[in-house]
Structure 1
Amino acid sequence: VYNPAVPFTLHTWGKGSQGGSDFAGGVSDGTAGAAAMELHRGGLQAHKAWFFLGDVVVCLGAGLLPDDPTLPVVTSVNQCWKRGPVTTNQRPAPLPPGEIHAQTAPGWVHHDGVSYLFPQETDRRVRTEHKSASWSALNTAPHREARNDPKVPTPDVEGDVFSLWIEHGNAVGSAGSYGYLVAPGLNPADIGFFQQNKAPKILANTPTLQAVATDDAVQCVFWQPGTLDLPDQRRIQADQPCLVQWRRNADKRWTLAAGNPTHRVRRLHVRVEDPAAAPEPIETKFDFPDDAYAGCPQVREFLKS
């Protein structure tokens, strides 16, 4: 997520990558996991989360808030070398070079064996174009402009580039959000079945709570203490900012994992209600150390009662 109207501050290589928030971390039980960060950079704030379930990544963003609300905001989904045809649900024939293809309705984009799924209405753009540039120009253009140096390095690399991005427009406000799935190896012919039967569901995508679920797993980012209620009577509560994952294994065991992204939480209480796992709520306490391992996820295992 970035604001194309605000140039990034010029930094020396290896510097300037620090964010303006201490909320950055993840949770995992060794099989599935999630990560989240609060972005404060380039004149923009955003709550970003990634949920890793099997071969799929669910990417969520909420609370997109530019410092100047009149400036546009863009989310770059991917930009890479073009390898093979680019197709979409609206344009099954390969997209011609140089053309910008706009989509809004729920749908998908496929390129190089990877499907990008947009389950909700999203204003997105797809483009393929031939580009050339110079590696030596990276991070040096602002330096040249500052000293009025007209010399531009000779391009030493060129090729066809695939670009996919989301247009959030102007005056996004704290309600600005996005959500999409990245599914490597998913062919266009199988997308419909996958979406109906296997795709993770986005349950929440707000500045206070982001969550996804499958039949076997629930992953949550609690930006503040809160509760997630699922349609199937499952419920997860946390009394501190954290990441939580509740997952069923094949051997009638469940794992509850918790992450401490701010490194400041010393004790976390998580309450899980899942009729398939236990008739009564499961109350769990996590004590995090006050040292270099404060952000290390902790895992508890439960056998069906």
Structure 2
Amino acid sequence: PLPSRFINLGENGLPTDTTINENGRTSVRQNQDEFRKFQQDHTVSYDSVFNNNHRINAVVGFTSLYEGSTNLNGSRTDTTLNIPRDPQFWYLGIADQSNPGNFNGGGAENAVLGYLARVSYGFKDRYLLNASIRRDGSSRISPKNRYRTFGAIGAGWVISEESFFNNVKSIDFLKLRGSWGTVGNTNGLGRNYFEPNLVQSGIGVFGDNIFTSVAPEFLPDPNLKWETTRGIDIGLDLRAFSGRFSAEADFYNRKTVDLITRITLPGSSGNVTYFTNLGSISNKGIEISLGWNDRIGEDFTFNISPNFSYNKNNVESLGSDFNFTLTGNGGINRTITG
């Protein structure tokens, strides 16, 4: 894959007429935004059949992703200058240099690195086994917990391939499957979480002078680690009546631990926030998908595909020192365990 780079340059001048009144203002604004993304995915696969009964498929690979962005913008206002209606004059230096203007900018970046391997085995396309493992590292996570290994195992049984199923004419395909695995998540963290930007946190007056204070956008938690979800899935796949009817049913039971949670510190600490691992939640549910494909006459076909789902979400823990949290701006949300 090729790397990609996007740059957005914008310049905005607000010209006036040849004559301006005493309250007239002429301003210049410039902004520049740049986004960079470089991604690599490399895999090697192996697929072979032995003795017409044993099929083995294996994949190993390496992935990497880098994302970065920078932005810079500024504006100046000059009540004494008439800027021509020509973009070549729309630059910040043309305005009154004694006017400090407004300037802002920042940047962010993150990187992900991963190694993966997957192998599957099938006997007569009837008994199926698969296993996968991957090790991922993210720049968003604390250096000492940056890399984490995740894996999954699964099995399947194509019941319709059994000899005792030969007399069942109405069912074309019937498969029972199950899996267990773990996955990681870093969503919600800032790209530059461990090298945060400095942001304005307040203004103080000392004598005749006004001073602006700055603080890091986030306080990095040196113990932060991956949010991890592990669970089991059990499913059934069915096709019947010469492919006209299909059904899929899935039951899942998953638990997410080490939830990445945003905590806001009091104003005395600079009104900054930090992310930490706090609590766990569970999800249990059932999903059912049905389908019917048929034809009436030569020209009319139809498809009916109803879906049903049920999910129970439970906050099991919010950390050893909490049993509820309050969040929101204006309206308040209360999250409680149990």
Q: State TM-score, norm by structure 1.
A: 0.23
Larger radius of gyration: 2
Higher relative contact order (CA 8 A, sep 6+): 1
Q: State TM-score, norm by structure 2.
A: 0.22
